[in-house]
Amino acid sequence: FCILYFKTHPMSEYIHIGKIVAAHGIGGQIIIEHALGKPINFKGIEAIFVEKNTASFIPYFITSAVAKTDTLTHLQIEGIQNREATQILISKKVWLPQAEFQQLVDKSSPLALLGYMVQQNGIDLGNVIEVIEQPHQLMLTILYQGQEAYIPLHEESLKGVDHAKKTVTVLLPDGLLDLYTSV
């Protein structure tokens, strides 16, 4: 079973979309595994941002991209000409600026909920800062009264998603949010 984490970068408007999983061929192509919900050719996207460490990204400019599946894309990037040069990139996280992420993500992908406002009974609880995919439910992380709070999404708790208004309407179990406000 697999748990995937996707979140916005705290110091910027970047979205974690996946990671570089392997080299392909001998010409320096890389394979990106992403959770954008559909085949992606990165059309109109100049660069991907590869995480160097927690606070810094390095832009790599795309010269070509070919979607292989709903989750895998082969990329050729500037400056990477051979298989050996790809080794520094393998297993690194890949990020996109929020505007470019919004162009690419499938609206039915759980990742599309990043940045949406979670509401219950018409009251704003907090913006989604992280999406955690688990086998039987999604878990959204929001900032609730200054604390990170985990909101389970499954058929009983999810009441609706409005993509136009960028809201997720929930009905949470009594007392769940109290866990994040008691001292």
| Tens-digit pLDDT profile for residues 20-35 | 999 999 999 999 999 8
By the 10 Å C-beta count (0-12 exposed, 13-18 middle, 19+ buried), 70 is classed as middle
pLDDT score at 45:
92
Per-residue confidence at 7, pLDDT binned at 50, 70, 90?
Answer: low
Chain-centre distance for alpha carbon 85: 26
CB contact burial 127-154 (16+ within 10 A = b; e otherwise):
bbbbbbbeeeebbbbbebeeeebebbbe
Cβ–Cβ under 8 Å, residues 158 and 140: no
pTM as predicted: 0.73
CA angle 162, 181, 150 (to 5 degrees): 45
pLDDT at 183 over 80: no
Cα gap 70→34, rounded to integer Å: 8
32 vs 129, residue with greater confidence: 32
Per-residue confidence at 134, pLDDT binned at 50, 70, 90?
Answer: confident
